[in-house]
Homo-oligomer: A and B are copies of this chain.
């Protein structure tokens, strides 16, 4: 039998590496509730399952990666069930407001192999695209100044 009745709040926070305040706050604000038994007044005990620990750890990884709780909440709302399957073969791919569970070690695995933690990828092409579009929209007359991003010409402009 593995860990007779799940994990206490204090055990959970030690294992996951967060403060009790965080664990408590996350439980109260519905981010991650202890699924084995929830609190019901002072003196009662929270009991976290192994699955809960996995989620807590994922939350911490995202927080350490500089991601705000607001986004993490959206991720876990969507994710609630989808974590049942073989967890170790899964990558969470978060793109704006949509979350996907990417299965298998396909395209991006060579990047991921380096280390652990979260990868944040921002394609600058899209950034520049949006920017230029907006400039043209707001200032139809002026052409876009590209001096500092020109390929030929060695990009002067300080």
Instruction: Convert A1-30 into 0s and 1s, putting 1 for each residue whose CB lies closer than 8 angstroms to a CB of B.
Output: 011000000010011110000000000000
Cβ of A155 under 8 Å from chain B = yes
**In the assembled complex, which residues on chain B have CB atoms less than 8 Å from the CB atom of A124?**
54, 58, 83, 87-92
Instruction: Give Cα A135 to B11, complex, Å.
Output: 9
Min CB–CB distance A25 → chain B (angstroms): 17
Q: By CB atoms of chain B within 10 A, which of A3, A110, A122, A134 has the most?
A: A122
Min CB–CB distance A37 → chain B (angstroms): 12
Instruction: Give Cα A65 to B72, complex, Å.
Output: 11
Copies of this chain, count: 2
Min CB–CB distance A126 → chain B (angstroms): 3
Instruction: Give Cα A88 to B120, complex, Å.
Output: 17
Could you show 23 A-B contacts with beta carbons less than 8 Å apart? A2-B142, A15-B138, A16-B131, A17-B134, A50-B146, A50-B147, A53-B131, A53-B135, A54-B127, A65-B94, A67-B120, A85-B155, A88-B129, A90-B123, A91-B123, A92-B124, A93-B120, A94-B120, A116-B126, A116-B127, A118-B122, A119-B119, A120-B120
